[in-house]
Structure 1
Amino acid sequence: METRAPRVVVAGGHSAGHIEPAMNFADALRKLAPAAEVTALGTVRGLDTTLIPARGYPLELIPPAPLPRKATRALLKTPSRLRDSIRAAGAVLDQVKADVVVGFGGYVAAPAYLAARQRRLPIVIHEANVRPGAANRLAARMTTHVYTASPDVRLKHSTAIGIPLRPAITGLDRLATREAARRKFGLRPDGPVLLVTGGSQGATAINAAASGAAEQLKAAGVQVLHITGPQHTVEANDPSYAVLPFVDEMQYAYAAADFAICRSGAMTCAELAAVGLPAAFVPLPDRGGEQRLNAGPVVAAGGALLVNDADLTPAWIEATLIPILSDPARIAAMSARASATGAPNADTVLARHVLTIAERHRPAR
């Protein structure tokens, strides 16, 4: 008797850090099983309605029910909001006849997990951060199918596989793409290039430090590709200092660069390791030190530096970073060490696990 195509519901909304790995996993799943039916759960908050439909997946919206990190007045409203979200998530699971729920954390994940548990559907968790969020800590008590970005993640039954990334990143040959990538940004093909980015929204401290060191970088022969973020402005009147508010295809920015200054969100750390781009990571000073933990493995391996937000200044760039940028052998060694910490096939690994789990559950037709 034939079995029908697997029906998978992915839950990972609100931020790009949850949505991107969810969509990258979905792409890998469809590549392995083209007939698979993938439905995404999301909310009206955050980037769900922008990023998910653009990737070609049906999006079902449920009421947001964030779990407060602390005991505040918002906690008193959580039970009723969560109940409504669970009911809405359950309706979607019933409608699509889901075989498995795959959650990546965020507002939408907890209702999806609880609705799946009510229906005795298998639950698969992926946790990108070293310090797990509330939804995934909750779900880890409900399932043995737990996958993480790092072995440092403390969740029961967890297996470290890395973070699902886009093939454009994992398949990038930086050396072969370098000259074309530099032309794309108006940079010379020769000499070191420093990539400066504060993520999709930018970072004031990173922008100020890099732009403040522009003259010193130029004097050292270092070109700069500075992605400021759409709400930030940096003045530059030199063609060797390229300024852009946003770059949609980051693989070209990575290919153009020899080194990066950036935040250490989980996706950023995973992407730089996958392409072997060494970096000076500047963790956000809040969020309980989460970003510092994300950078830990590659820093320990010698593939990156760690600098406090308050310590990142033009003087630090001149004293610490410019000597590295002027030493091709050191950059090459750091690149190799960064690559050794990468996990470029996490999307396929997770997709294979999910297909096996769905196969055990879904009925024959």
Structure 2
Amino acid sequence: MRVVLAGGGTAGHIEPALALADALRRNDPNTGIVCLGTERGLETRLVPQRGYELALIPPVPLPRTLTPQLLTVPGRLRGAINAAAAVIDQAQADVLVGFGGYVATPGYLAARKRKIPIIVHEANPKPGLANKLGARFTEHVAVSHADSPLPNPTFVGIPLRREIATLDRLAMGDKARSYFGLLPDLPTLLIFGGSQGARALNQAAVAAAPYFRQAGIQVLHIVGPKNTEEPEPVSGGPQYVTIPYCDRMDLAYAAADMAMCRAGAMTCAELAAVALPAVYVPLPIGNGEQHLNAEPIVAAGGGLLVDNAELSPDWIAQNLLPVLADPARVANMSEAAGRMGRRDADAALAQMVYDVVRSAGAAR
């Protein structure tokens, strides 16, 4: 089987695509996989790092408003479609699986042009423009929110990396805390804001460092490579460990009793899968999708939700610290978060790929 994956741009598009690629290769190491991408996206680093072939096509971001740039889109899109079609031809693809983002639009149009089956995967509650388009060309639409507005939705969840999907947090807890230089027996809060960090989270958390120490809570804070916030070092007492970047998020999750973070689709899916409760601070821009990502988990009892503008050291002291000081409540929140998680989305989406390819082969 030969598969083209179109999921470039952000980690939220790339990681599910790579998780699917891993699942397909686990089932059959001879599966041919090519990832579509552009020179602008994180895929230039993430895809080769995971050992997959990356084929670059011209980027064609679509303007959201009427600007002179809109006039250049048809010509540039035509070039990107032709480039994607050439990749499909060279790969002799049996199917194209798209995950949204601007690399997916030319991928969908090229697949339609070449008459090969299309599968759309939508991670967010509000579909983007690319997946709205792709869903018009296929009956095979995989979603991570059961009430997705896309036509013909099949709920599968978000494919996750195996080290996350198979993580046993409790079994790994002591090893993980030792890895980060944390003590084994103190309540632990993990703070992170995505690959670049999040200034509002960083500032509020660092300012709350005295509160954490007074409450006997240690902190692992991934501040992001461009951020310099760091609390004043204090000898003795609970530690506040800051690191610029973490390439072992499985260990970071295992080290923590609770997290404070943004609410991207991948973040919510990973935390629910590993049953780690969280304070979700949705990014205050965009179409409100981060709020929608966190809402079901919070409603089920698996976390707290606070607007970016309301997050402050006082809010942390009044709302988060009492939770961390109550092990029974943390345990209940962990169970609630875990009930909302799905660890086998990669296998479910891989099965959809097999079914679609077999069906297309039988039709021929």
CA contact (8 A) 1:69 1:134 kept: no
Q: Which residue of 2 aligns with 1:283?
A: 282
Q: 2:102 aligns with which of 107, 125, 129?
A: 107
Q: Secondary structure at the match of 1:288?
A: coil
What residue in structure 2 maps to residue 128 of structure 1? 123
CA shift for structure 1 position 107: 1.5
**2:149 equivalent among 149, 154, 158:** 154
Deviation at 1:361, TM superposition (A): 2.9
Q: Is the 8 A contact 1:67 1:135 kept in 2?
A: no
Q: Quote how far apart the aligned CAs of 1:149 are.
A: 1.1
- 2:202 paired residue among 189, 204, 207: 207
Find 1:184's aligned residue among 156, 179, 187. 179
Which residue of structure 2 aligns with residue 272 of structure 1? Answer: 271
Q: CA deviation at 1:113?
A: 0.3
CA distance, structure 2, for counterparts of residue 363 and residue 333 of structure 1: 49
Match of 2:4 in 1: 9
Q: CA deviation at 1:357?
A: 1.2
Does residue 173 of the first structure (1) align with residue 130 of the second (2)? no
Aligned to 1:225: 220
Mark the runs of 5 or more structure 1 residues left unpaired by the alignment.
1-5
- Give distance in 2, aligned partners of 1:90 and 1:284: 36
Higher mean C-alpha deviation, range 191-200 or range 65-74: 65-74
Partners of 1:312 and 1:7 in 2: how far apart?
A: 47
Please name the residue that 2:211 is paired with: 216
Q: TM-score, normalised by structure 2?
A: 0.97
Structure 2 counterpart of 1:34, one-letter code: P
Look up the match of 1:3.
none
From 44, 49, 55, the counterpart of 1:49: 44
TM-score by length of 1: 0.96
Moved more, 149-158 or 245-254: 149-158
Question: Segments of 4+ in structure 1 off by > 6 A?
Answer: none
SS of corresponding position for 2:242: strand
Match of 1:76 in 2: 71
Across the aligned residues of Structure 1 and Structure 2, the Cα RMSD in angstroms comes to: 1.3
The residue identity in structure 2 corresponding to 1:253 is: A
Letter in 2 for 1:312: L
The residue that corresponds to 2:334 in the other structure is 335
1:294 has 2:296 as partner:
no
2:355 and 2:29 map into 1 onto residues whose CA distance is: 15
| Residue deviations 1:38-66 (CA, integer Å, cap 9, x gap) | 11111111212111111111111111112
Secondary structure at 2:288's aligned position in 1?
helix
Partner Cα separation in structure 1 for residue 106 and residue 60 of structure 2: 8
Larger deviation, residues 317-326 vs 294-303: 294-303
Aligned to 1:346: 345
Pairs within 5 Å for 1:16-95: 16-95=11-90
Deviation at 1:77, TM superposition (A): 1.4
| In 2: Cα distance, 1:168 partner to 1:73 partner | 46
Matched with 1:323 is 322
Counterpart in the other structure of 1:303: 302
1:76 CA drift (Å): 1.7
In 1, Cα distance between equivalents of 2:31 and 2:41: 27
More contact order relative to length (CA 8 Å, sep ≥ 6): 1
Asked whether the equivalents of residues 82 and 111 of structure 1 are also in contact (C-alpha less than 8 Å), the reply is yes
